[in-house]
Amino acid sequence: MKAVILAAGEGTRMRPLTTTHPKVMLPVANRPILEHIIKSARDGGITDFVCVVGYRSDMIRDYFGDGRQLNIHINYVEQKQQLGTAHAIGTVQDLVDDRFIVLNGDALVKSSDVYSLMKHREDAVMAVKEIKDPGKYGVVKTSGGRIIEIIEKPERATSNLVNAGIYLFSDSIFESIRKTGRSKRGEYEITDSIMRLVSDNAGVGCMLLNTWIDIGMPWNLLDANEFLLSDIKTEISGEIEPYATLKGEVVIGENSIIRNGAYITGPVIIGNNCDIGPNCYIRPGTTVGNNVHIGNAVEIKNSIIMSGTKIGHLSYLGDSVIGHNCNFGAGTKVANLRHNGKNIRVTIDKGSTDTGRRKLGVIMGDCVHTGINTSINVGVTMAAGRATRPGEVVMR
């Protein structure tokens, strides 16, 4: 059985991180999101993949190639216009067998769930997940283990089951896709194709997922990072100087050096060719990419630091996502908690969005430089390539 992975979109709600990278190539636990998804499917028993690509597809092709390094095979289909999920799936008709699964390139799922989905015998199966706040998703109604209705982002949800964007299809889905018109958003939606099957009494099964982490917003990267770090085991490939301290599960990459006085509490991943310390504190839930420098009197907590970034000295950073090749001037401080303790809101698509998080620092695009003694308020996003002046306070 083959797996089709939908990986064509930019992920506009993930800006500024996707200004320079496709969403599926953003790193979590020091690997692209897409790599984690492919590995889960591979471990679930799939070795043949079709990736539907579009936005900055060269990055995906260059990184994965034909998939040989992961002991799999990958074909690519270019979706030149992102016209919706049904349109994306329709582009792979000539590359799949009579039965295949579909995975979203921005949702983590465990290999055991992939394996269970493959065992279903129905012609169409939708994977669902029970969540506390279903109104932001497509809410699914079921009866007798079958899908009977999908309601997109209802004001009042009558079910806690949501569509996880993971499916098993037979080739009969392509006829339904051909009959699917544009939605109110102007796209061809696979949920409309599935409801056409329901209307035709084709019988669409549902499967409840054990694990599903949807990475729809920048701060969801922190959720995914925490989930993946929970499974790591200590592996030291670099140099640890005598008076550095490592507690818990910590991974140190090749040619990295942890200098005297550094205190690291896992789970933490530090990539290759990094220079850490002296006298810094890296707290749990942190992932540090390759070629990163973290210097004297720096404290980092529950954050993703992408490759090439320099945080030299006298800085604090918590609950944040930092892009590639950023540079923190001395004394840069990032706030991550409101004084009133309420949830932090972030501006996405010109509107204010409740993150559901009490702690969130900065979402910083690539190549941002901060001047010395810069202060950055909670929930701030900083566009790629921007800079701050010495002593500047960034409020929003």
Predicted pLDDT of residue 69? 92
pLDDT at 150 exceeding the cut of 80: yes
Phi, psi of 143, rounded to the nearest 5 degrees: -150, 125
Phi, psi of 50, rounded to the nearest 5 degrees: -125, 120
pLDDT at 186 exceeding the cut of 90: no
Check whether residue 210 and residue 236 sit in a common domain: no
Is 250 contained in some domain? yes
Cα–Cα distance measured from residue 85 to residue 103, given in angstroms and rounded to the nearest whole number = 11
Rg of the chain on CA atoms, in Å = 22
pLDDT at 259 exceeding the cut of 90: yes
Is 269 contained in some domain? yes
Cα–Cα distance measured from residue 330 to residue 300, given in angstroms and rounded to the nearest whole number = 14
302 sits in the region (left: phi over 0; alpha: psi -120 to 50; else beta) called left
The structural domain count of the chain equals 2
Among 177, 192, 216, identify where a domain stops.
216
Is 199 contained in some domain? yes
Angle (CA) 121 79 220, round 5°:
75
pTM of the model: 0.91
More confident residue, 78 or 81: 78
Check whether residue 34 and residue 169 sit in a common domain: yes
Q: Which two tokens stand for residue 183?
A: 């939605």
Distance from first CA to last CA of the chain, Å, rounded?
A: 48
pLDDT in tens, 325-372: 999 999 999 999 888 888 889 888 777 888 888 999 999 999 999 999
Is 305 contained in some domain? yes
Check whether residue 196 and residue 268 sit in a common domain: no
CATH number for the domain spanning 373: value is: 2.160.10.10
Residue with tokens 């539907």: 52
Contacts of 182 (CB under 8 A, 6+ apart): 84, 188
Predicted pLDDT of residue 293? 97
Predicted pLDDT of residue 192? 86
Check whether residue 138 and residue 251 sit in a common domain: no
Is 101 contained in some domain? yes
Angle (CA) 135 89 221, round 5°:
50
Check whether residue 169 and residue 48 sit in a common domain: yes
51 sits in the region (left: phi over 0; alpha: psi -120 to 50; else beta) called beta
Cα–Cα distance measured from residue 35 to residue 26, given in angstroms and rounded to the nearest whole number = 10
Residue 241 domain boundaries: 228-394
pLDDT at 80 exceeding the cut of 90: no
Q: Which of 6-10, 76-80, 280-284 has the highest mean pLDDT?
A: 280-284
Q: Could you tell me which of 85, 49, 54, 87 has the C-alpha nearest to residue 68? A: 49
Q: What is the mean pLDDT of residues 254-278?
A: 96
Check whether residue 365 and residue 296 sit in a common domain: yes
Check whether residue 22 and residue 105 sit in a common domain: yes
Check whether residue 128 and residue 204 sit in a common domain: yes
Predicted pLDDT of residue 149? 80
Q: Which two tokens stand for residue 226?
A: 């925490």
* Structure confidence at residue 291 as a pLDDT band (50, 70, 90): very high
Angle (CA) 296 299 303, round 5°:
130
Cα–Cα distance measured from residue 45 to residue 68, given in angstroms and rounded to the nearest whole number = 16
Phi, psi of 199, rounded to the nearest 5 degrees: -65, -30
Residue with tokens 């049904």: 86
DSSP string for 166-233: EEEEETTHHHHHHT----TTSS--HHHHHHHHHHTT---EEEE-S-EEE--STTHHHHHHHHHHTT--
Residue with tokens 């944040």: 320
Is 222 contained in some domain? no
Cα–Cα distance measured from residue 86 to residue 78, given in angstroms and rounded to the nearest whole number = 14
pLDDT at 52 exceeding the cut of 80: yes
Check whether residue 84 and residue 195 sit in a common domain: yes
Provide the residue type at 321 as one letter: V
CB-CB contact of 233 with 266 (8 Å): no
CB atoms within 10 A of CB 195: 18
Q: What is the mean pLDDT of residues 222-237?
A: 95
Check whether residue 210 and residue 241 sit in a common domain: no
Q: What is the mean pLDDT of residues 121-128?
A: 89
pLDDT at 161 exceeding the cut of 90: no
Active site residues per annotation = 313
Q: Which two tokens stand for residue 276?
A: 């850490």
Is 66 contained in some domain? yes
Q: Could you tell me which of 375, 290, 324, 354 has the C-alpha nearest to residue 136? A: 354
**What is the percent of the chain with per-residue pLDDT over 70, rounded to a whole number?**
99
Among 216, 250, 284, identify where a domain stops.
216
Please give the DSSP secondary-structure letter assigned to residue 344: P
Is 221 contained in some domain? no
Cα–Cα distance measured from residue 375 to residue 233, given in angstroms and rounded to the nearest whole number = 35
Cα–Cα distance measured from residue 290 to residue 273, given in angstroms and rounded to the nearest whole number = 6
Q: Which two tokens stand for residue 364?
A: 């910083």
Q: Which two tokens stand for residue 267?
A: 């789970």
Contacts of 340 (CB under 8 A, 6+ apart): none
Check whether residue 44 and residue 166 sit in a common domain: yes
Q: What is the mean pLDDT of residues 86-96?
A: 90
Among 163, 183, 216, identify where a domain stops.
216
CATH number for the domain spanning 102: value is: 3.90.550.10
Check whether residue 64 and residue 207 sit in a common domain: yes
Predicted pLDDT of residue 373? 95
* Structure confidence at residue 116 as a pLDDT band (50, 70, 90): very high
Contacts of 313 (CB under 8 A, 6+ apart): 295, 296, 297, 298, 330
